Amino acid sequence: MHNSGGDSRTVLVGLMANILLACIKLISGILGHSYALVADSVESLVDVLGSIVVFGGIKIAEKDSNDQFPYGLGKAEGLAAFVVGLIVILASIGIAVEAISEILRPHQAPEPWTLIVLIGVIVTKEILHLLARRASRKSGSLAMSADAFHHRADSLTSMAAAIGISVAIFGGPEWAAADDWAALFASAIILYNGISIARSASLHLLDTSADLETIESIRAAAHGVDGVIDIEKLLVRASGTKLFVDIHVHADPEMTLAAAHRLGGIVKSAIQASRSDVSGVLVHMEPAGEE
């Protein structure tokens, strides 16, 4: 069952945390002479924008269907996730360009206390990742899944920054650029995650088929109805957290039109009773034994 209220609260908690973390990392990075930390703050600012987009997508997806959108607005979640993916990709490119520039420009090593800041950031982001992932699994929200992925990406970039800062601090002046190499490595992680988010959202927006387990559970529910001889075709697509089903049912060819209509209604009810995420079912009744 989709818990949109819980999703919204989780996104808002992540949004406020990202704003606070971004400010802390940006100030610490500037005062502590760490570009890896500055790059990490940029990633958090991207998280803020991403969380706003995700929150908007969830709110739009909550709206009921109407004459203009008879299938509802569930695709808004997929669109929000796709936008987040693009934002992440663009952020990774910007971080990489600046990291390369810093590598080519000699500078002093970061301050040791920046490591303490990063440890706090990593712990906080992992907690946010777990909260968002739990909410995503509970509701099936694609946008929430993207938000959880985003928190984990930020945690990984902070880990990379911590490693780079450690090398730069303890390795001596000749290792000062390790901080910038860490930022460059972090940009690669961010790019990979951005592509993954955008790809998953694209498949959703293109009406890719539901997974085999979902399809087979729906098939079993339909087959369990008395009078159903066979299932010729079964198509299942997702729209946000809702599923829409097209099913071709074979039944007794001697059955009257009224009886076939009643059987189709029973099949529809059986499918919706078997899964709470099924929003719409279109049943095509066909005579068994005929091509």
Q: Where are the domains of the chain?
A: 4-205, 212-287
Scan for tokens 């087959």, then name that residue: 223
pTM of the model: 0.67
Alpha helices in the chain, H assignment, sequence order: 4-31, 35-61, 75-103, 114-139, 142-170, 178-205, 212-223, 257-274
CA angle 61, 65, 69 (to 5 degrees): 90
The fourth-level CATH superfamily of domain 212-287 is Cation efflux protein, cytoplasmic domain (3.30.70.1350)
Report residue 275 as tokens: 């899964």
Q: How many CA atoms lie within 13 Å of 268's alpha carbon, on the beta-carbon side? A: 15
CA 280 to each of CA 72, 125, 220, 235: distance values in angstroms, whole numbers, following the listed order: 10, 38, 17, 12
CB-based burial label for 216 (10 Å; 0-12, 13-18, 19+): exposed
The alpha carbon dihedral of 128, 144, 28, 92 has a sign of positive
The fourth-level CATH superfamily of domain 4-205 is Cation efflux protein transmembrane domain (1.20.1510.10)
Classified as helix, coil or strand, 283 is strand
pLDDT for res 1: 45
pLDDT for res 7: 62
Q: List per-block mean pLDDT (blocks of 10 residues) for the chain, which spans 291 residues.
A: 59 80 88 82 76 76 77 80 86 86 78 88 88 79 72 80 84 80 83 86 84 92 93 88 91 92 95 90 88 57
- What type of residue sits at position 20? L
pLDDT for res 6: 58
Residues 188, 204: Cα–Cα separation, whole Å: 25
- 179 close to 36: Cβ distance less than 8 angstroms: yes
